Amino acid sequence: MTKHKIIYDTDPGIDDAIALVFQARHPQIELVGITSVFGNADIDTTTANALYLASRFAPGVPVVRGAAAPLRHPPPAPIPHIHGKDGLGEISRTGHVSQQEDGRAAHRFIVEMVRANPGEITLLAVGPLTNLALALREDPDIARLVREVVVMGGAFGVGGELGNATPAAEANMHGDPDAADIVFGAAWKVSIVGLDVTHETVMTTAFLAALRDSAGDAGRFVWDVSRFYERFHADDGMSRGIYAHDYSAAAFVVARELYTTRSGPVRVLTDGIAAGLTVQKPASMRAPAPDWDTRPPCDACIGVDAAAVLDLFTRTLRG
Ligand code: BDR
Ligand code: CA
C-alpha cells in the first residue's frame, strides 16, 4: 500500500484537530511533521495545541513552530468566539504533553523534509499559507520536489458563497492573501478544497454523537472538541452541526475520487475590500487573461460526494 507522507501545516483550531485525528488513524497516511501557523489563535496557542494533539494522537511526530504573522498584512483579529479562548473549544484536556517543539522554523523544516524525500511529501495546509510561501522563498526548487500541495481554503462561488471571514474571502485566504497568491502561482501540483465543498459536508450532531458512542477515545474527543464549534455554527444560523472544513482536505488526499475538480490558474486578491478573494480562470475559458495565463493550473474542488466523505471519517475512526 502506498502511503501518503504528509506534513500537516495547521492552526489548531477545532476542525484542524478533527482532521489530525483522522490522519493519525488512517492506514494510508504517514504523518511526518506538524507545522503550526497563526490563524485560529496566536502562534503560541496553535503551537501548544499542536503539541497537545501530537502527544495524544500522533506521538513522536515532530511539531514545528511556524509563522506568527502574515507576510505583509497585520495579524488578523483574534476569533475566540469560533474556536474558544484556547483555540480548542475550551475542553478539559486529558493526558500530559509529552512532545516538545522541534527547534527548527517551520518553513526550514518543510524545505529539509522535501529535499530529504524528493517526490514523496504531500503538504496538507489548512491555515494561512505563510509557512509554505516562506519555504518557497527560501528554496524555490522545492516546488518540483513536492508530491502535491492540498489546501483547505478559498471559495469559487459554486454554491453562491465567496467567503466566511468577509463576504469576499475565506478565513485562510484572508489570513495571508499574499502567501496564498504565491503558493497558487508556484510550479507544483496544487489542489484547493474550499467552501464550495466544505459547506456541503456537514457533521451533524447525530453524526458526532454516533462517533462519540462508537469510536473510542478518538470519537469522544471529536465530540468534546466540537461542542464549542457547534454552538458557534448555531449562533451563525446553521442548525445542529459543524462544517468539516479541514477534514475535507485530509479526505481529499486519500479519496480524491469523491470530489469533482475544475482545472485552471488561481489568483488571490491581496488588497482592498476583497482581499483574500480566490478567482480561477477555468481551462475552458478562451479569452486572454494575462494575470492568470502565465501561471500553472490548480485543481479547485467544485463538487463532492459528502455522504461518502463522512462515511470515510466514521470508518477510519472506528478502525
Ligand atoms: C478555515 O478557517 C479556519 O477557521 C478553519 O480551521 C478552517 O481551516 C475555514 O474557513
Ligand atoms: Ca484551520
256 vs 250: CA distance, rounded Å: 10
Residue 89 in this model has a pLDDT that exceeds 90? yes
pLDDT band at 107 (very low <50, low <70, confident <90, very high): very high
Q: Residue 227 burial by CB count (10 A; 0-12/13-18/19+): exposed, middle or buried?
A: middle
For the segment 153-171, the average pLDDT, to the nearest whole number, is 96
245 is catalytic: yes
Q: Give per-residue pLDDT as tens, 178-225.
A: 999 999 999 999 999 999 999 999 999 999 999 999 999 999 999 999
CA of 162 to the centre of ligand 1 (A): 14
What pLDDT sits at residue 237?
82
CA of 83 to the centre of ligand 1 (A): 10
> Could you name the CATH architecture of 4-318?
Alpha-Beta Complex (3.90)
Residue 239 in this model has a pLDDT that exceeds 90? no
Q: At what angle do helices 245-254 and 306-318 cross, to 10 degrees?
A: 80
Distant-in-sequence, close-in-space partners of 284: CB < 8 Å, separation ≥ 6: none
Q: Give per-residue pLDDT as tens, 114-132.
A: 999 999 999 999 999 999 9
Q: Which atom of ligand 1 is nearest to the CA of 11?
A: 6
Q: Which ligand is nearest the CA of 37, by number? A: 2
Terminal Cα distance for the chain, rounded: 17
**Any idea what the Cα angle at residue 233 is, between residues 215 and 20, rounded to 5°?**
40
134 vs 147: CA distance, rounded Å: 18
Q: Which atom of ligand 1 is nearest to the CA of 170?
A: 10
What pLDDT sits at residue 233?
87
What pLDDT sits at residue 1?
63
Q: Which atom of ligand 1 is nearest to the CA of 40?
A: 4
Q: Which residues line ligand 1 (CB under 6 A)?
A: 13, 15-16, 40, 126-127, 152, 164, 170-172, 245-246
* Torsion angle of the four alpha carbons 140, 141, 144, 145, in this order, in degrees rounded to the nearest 10: -110
The best mutation among 245, 247, 252, 277 to test binding of ligand 1, ranked by most ligand atoms within 8 Å of the C-beta, falls on 245
What pLDDT sits at residue 240?
85
Q: Which helix (H) or strand (E) holds 309?
A: helix 306-318
Q: Give per-residue pLDDT as tens, 26-81.
A: 999 999 999 999 999 999 999 999 999 999 999 999 999 999 999 999 998 889 99
